[in-house]
Structure 1
Amino acid sequence: MSSARPSAHERILSTASALFNAHGVRGVGVDRIIAESGVAKATLYSHFRAKDDLVLAYLRRADEHWRRALREAAEAAGPDPRDRLIGLFDALGGATERDGFRGCAFIRTAGETEPDTATHAATAEHKRAVRAWLTELTREAGAADPGRLAVQISLLVDGVMAAAALEPRPEFTEAAREAARALVAQACPVRA
């Protein structure tokens, strides 16, 4: 039973993603991506006009993966939006406790790119999209100030990822989950 070899585009993007996650976007050159993906330079440039295009593709993939993981963890917590706001932290445990976790791809990339560039804008857009989704959940949960609670929870999420980049420990996620539970209980009273 033979499996088809991934396309050149997929090999390039997968290789670049693994390297960017391990070494940062500035720490990896195009020549290394070419060598490790096993494609010719012309092939890489036929799929990605420049390294920035490859970084943007990496960020799009990371955005899709991370937002899906958050949504799935939240939905698995049940129908109550208050429970979903706590349940989303299950996505953090799986992500931050694995070997090689280097922190949030978006925060790391933002720190390595210049403001006013497409790559920096993509990192900020991801964070805005997550906060917008959290604001929807906090509104559904009955928060008096949904935007504020969304910011508080997003800061807890980012804090876990920052702490786990230095020292991946399950108690970081649990501490953030407890803090989120207290914030949600205070901001979203149970309806009678």
Structure 2
Amino acid sequence: MSPAKVPARQRLLEAADRLFYSEGVHTVGIDRVIEEAGVAKGSLFYNFSGKDDLIAAYLAGRDHRRRDRIAKFQHGLDDPVHKLLAIFEALGEAVAEPGYKGCPFANANAEARPGSVESAALRTFRDWMANAMLSLCEDAGYAHPGDVSARLCLLYDGAVAGSNLDAQPQAVGIAKELATMVLETAPRR
């Protein structure tokens, strides 16, 4: 029995994920993705309406994987404070992976036009993260959950930037320590 052939859509997404993340969505042309995926040009247009649609699917996949990673670290935790800190633990695992190049949403958005699929994907993820942190801060009973979650988001962003731009993977650990201090000292209702 021969192994099942990987569908063209999946091969295109896998190639786009590798190339777009490592080299950039604005650097990598569609022909390069097609070649890397080993599919006919028609396969791209059968599965996606064009490069923007492929970029949107790539970023949606990255969003899904990031949310799954966070959920994995939060699994089995009941305390919302522990769930907040688990977000930083999930980030720590991500920055330790070989080939880590920072936030795929920020990277893709860096040269994008306002209103582009890249900016929409960035906004979708950032809104989800901010709302997740705010909800957990509310569940933890902080007197000013918006202030606490804003501080945590800033620490998260700093850890992403520091671990990538300055090649400092320990930035996540430092951010988690600071997040712990924020969570321990913020007044509760």
TM-score, reference length from structure 1: 0.91
Match of 1:82 in 2: 81
| Distance in 2 separating the partners of 1:158 and 1:34 | 33
Mapping of residues 1-192 of structure 1, within 5 Å: 3-76=3-76, 78-187=77-186, 189=188
- 1:94-128 per-residue CA deviation (whole Å, 9 max, x = no partner) reads 10012211100111111121112233122112101
Judge conservation of contact 1:97–1:169 (CA < 8 Å) in 2. Answer: no
Q: Aligned Cα RMSD in Å? A: 1.7
5+ residue gaps, structure 2, are: none
Residue identity over aligned pairs, in percent, reads 35
Shift of residue 167, structure 1, vs aligned partner: 4.3
| Distance in 1 separating the partners of 2:73 and 2:119 | 27
Judge conservation of contact 1:89–1:177 (CA < 8 Å) in 2. Answer: yes
5+ residue gaps, structure 1, are: none
| Distance in 1 separating the partners of 2:145 and 2:10 | 39
| Distance in 1 separating the partners of 2:48 and 2:151 | 37
Shift of residue 31, structure 1, vs aligned partner: 0.5
| Distance in 1 separating the partners of 2:137 and 2:167 | 28
| Distance in 1 separating the partners of 2:44 and 2:51 | 9
Residue identity opposite 2:117 in structure 1: A
Shift of residue 188, structure 1, vs aligned partner: 5.2
Choose 161-170 or 179-188, whichever is displaced more.
Answer: 161-170
- 1:53-73 per-residue CA deviation (whole Å, 9 max, x = no partner) reads 000001111111111212221
- Structure 2 CA distance for partners of 1:144 and 1:28, relative to 1, 3 Å: same
| Distance in 1 separating the partners of 2:101 and 2:186 | 32
Judge conservation of contact 2:79–2:140 (CA < 8 Å) in 1. Answer: yes
- 1:45-92 per-residue CA deviation (whole Å, 9 max, x = no partner) reads 11111100000001111111111212221335x211111111221111
Residue identity opposite 1:9 in structure 2: R
| Distance in 2 separating the partners of 1:5 and 1:90 | 36
Judge conservation of contact 1:104–1:158 (CA < 8 Å) in 2. Answer: no
TM-score, reference length from structure 2: 0.93
Task: Give 3-state SS (helix, strand or coil) of 1:9's partner.
Answer: helix
Aligned residues: 189
